[in-house]
Amino acid sequence: MAKVFMFDALRAAIDEEMEKDSTVLVIGEDVGHYGGSYKVTKDLHAKYGDLRVLDTPIAENSFMGMAIGAAMTGLRPIVEGMNMSFLLLAFNQISNNAGMLRYTSGGNFKIPMVIRGPGGVGRQLGAEHSQRLEAYFQAIPGLKIVACSTPYNAKGLLKSAIQDDNPVILFEHVLLYNLQEELPDHEYFVSLDKAELVREGKDVTILTYSRMRHHVMQAVHSLVLEGYDPEVLDLISLKPIDIKSIGKSLAKTHRLIIVEECMKTGGIGAEIIAQVNDQFFDHLDAAVVRLSSQDIPTPYNGELEKATVIHPHQIIESVRNLLSLQV
């Protein structure tokens, strides 16, 4: 097993799939000669050439439409958004074309494509480069949405997404690319629709995804020392949500805390609460606690930016407060 960075794990996934399937190609800004803004496509241009690692102009709606057309004709494009915030410029193509064409064509077309790139609150990237678009895209029929949180699941998810016959959006967090982990030498895949049980426990279910997984685990380390026994689930799949795994955990713990970097209003946490109330209300012994980012544009100022997102001490305090309500 070799210890690799997340960006190298993603690169390895693309390389492996391109090597065994000539229909897989990469499209995006600076993905070729430059190797991608976070080096996920480094050296792939030299190996596969201009037609399979295609540098595009700064025109997201145009190259997204081109990629969808390529997918319709049998290719398997991987579209890199230099920053996922920029994909708002291609929202029409992603929603009305990528998400719907398999249905509106009566099944005559498949759209086997992956849309991936960095997002989330970084370090002073400013409001327009700190977007969390998962909730924007979650409402679109026909899309699958996943969020990686470790080098292991990043590689496995991307390989699964490339082989899927439907459009998949893979959210990568800008602050996780330098995360390191040992990966197996053999080929492996990670399911696109299953949550990961990160830690078993009995007191409370903490549900999270992406970078917040690491904030949660920092908090859990302290909570365990205090005698608490939290269970941690990494959502992985944001569409569809693995509500069965959530229900299984709640049947044991009866309490739920959702920790997300998404905004509170209309966010992923809001959808989870709705589904939990619909299907597992009787499992709950207390109201669901939702720890989300502030509903404001992310400030450029470092201290203000830090104040907009959730940190381990807030998770610790929420667990203490929730479990103090036990009868």
What is the DSSP secondary-structure string of 118-164?
EES--SS--GGGS---HHHHHTSTT-EEEE--SHHHHHHHHHHHHH-
Answer yes or no: 129 catalytic.
Answer: yes
What per-residue confidence (pLDDT) applies to 326? 63
With H, G, I as helix, E, B as strand and everything else as coil, classify residue 47: helix
Residue 87 has pLDDT above 70, yes or no: yes
pTM of the model: 0.95
The mean pLDDT of 10-16, rounded to a whole number, is: 98
* Phi–psi pair at 260, nearest 5 degrees: -140, 160
With H, G, I as helix, E, B as strand and everything else as coil, classify residue 97: helix
Please check whether residue 42 is in contact with residue 11, taking contact to mean a CB–CB distance below 8 angstroms.
Answer: yes
Average pLDDT, the chain: 95
Closest CA to 94 of 84, 108, 105: 84
Instruction: Assess whether 172 and 212 both reside in one domain.
Output: no
What per-residue confidence (pLDDT) applies to 199? 97
In a domain, 149, yes or no: yes
With H, G, I as helix, E, B as strand and everything else as coil, classify residue 69: helix
Instruction: Assess whether 30 and 84 both reside in one domain.
Output: yes
Instruction: Assess whether 221 and 173 both reside in one domain.
Output: no
User: pLDDT, tens digit, for every residue of 110-131?
Assistant: 999 999 999 999 888 888 888 8
Show the CA angle centred on residue 189, arms to residues 187 and 192, nearest 5°.
165
Please check whether residue 151 is in contact with residue 180, taking contact to mean a CB–CB distance below 8 angstroms.
Answer: yes
The one catalytic residue in 45, 129, 215, 254 is 129
Residue 2 has pLDDT above 90, yes or no: no
Q: Of 151, 183, 215, which residue sits at a domain end?
A: 183
Q: Is 2 exposed, middle or buried (0-12, 13-18, 19+ CB in 10 A)?
A: exposed
Number of domains in the chain: 2
Instruction: Assess whether 49 and 174 both reside in one domain.
Output: yes
What per-residue confidence (pLDDT) applies to 108? 95
Domain holding 95: CATH number? 3.40.50.970
User: What are the CB-based long-range contacts (under 8 Å, 24+) for 297-303?
Assistant: 297/127, 298/121, 298/125, 298/126, 298/127, 298/130, 299/127, 300/124, 300/126, 300/127, 301/124, 302/123, 302/124
Answer yes or no: 271 catalytic.
Answer: no
Instruction: Assess whether 131 and 236 both reside in one domain.
Output: no
The mean pLDDT of 83-111, rounded to a whole number, is: 94
The one catalytic residue in 17, 29, 45, 60 is 60
The mean pLDDT of 187-206, rounded to a whole number, is: 97
Q: Of 183, 217, 249, which residue sits at a domain end?
A: 183
What is the DSSP secondary-structure string of 167-234?
-EEEEEETTSTT-EEEE-SS-----SS--EEEE--SSEEEEE-TTHHHHHHHHHHHHHHTT--EEEEE
Judging by DSSP bridges, how do beta strands 144-147 and 237-239 pair with one another? antiparallel
Domain holding 225: CATH number? 3.40.50.920
What per-residue confidence (pLDDT) applies to 327? 46
Instruction: Assess whether 173 and 201 both reside in one domain.
Output: no
Percentage of the chain lying above the pLDDT 70 cut: 99
In a domain, 242, yes or no: yes
User: pLDDT, tens digit, for every residue of 274-327?
Assistant: 999 999 999 999 999 999 999 999 999 999 999 999 999 999 999 999 998 764
Instruction: Assess whether 28 and 173 both reside in one domain.
Output: yes
d(CA 18, CA 22): 6
Domain interval for residue 126: 2-183
User: pLDDT, tens digit, for every residue of 128-184?
Assistant: 888 889 999 999 999 999 999 999 999 999 999 999 999 999 999 999 999 999 999
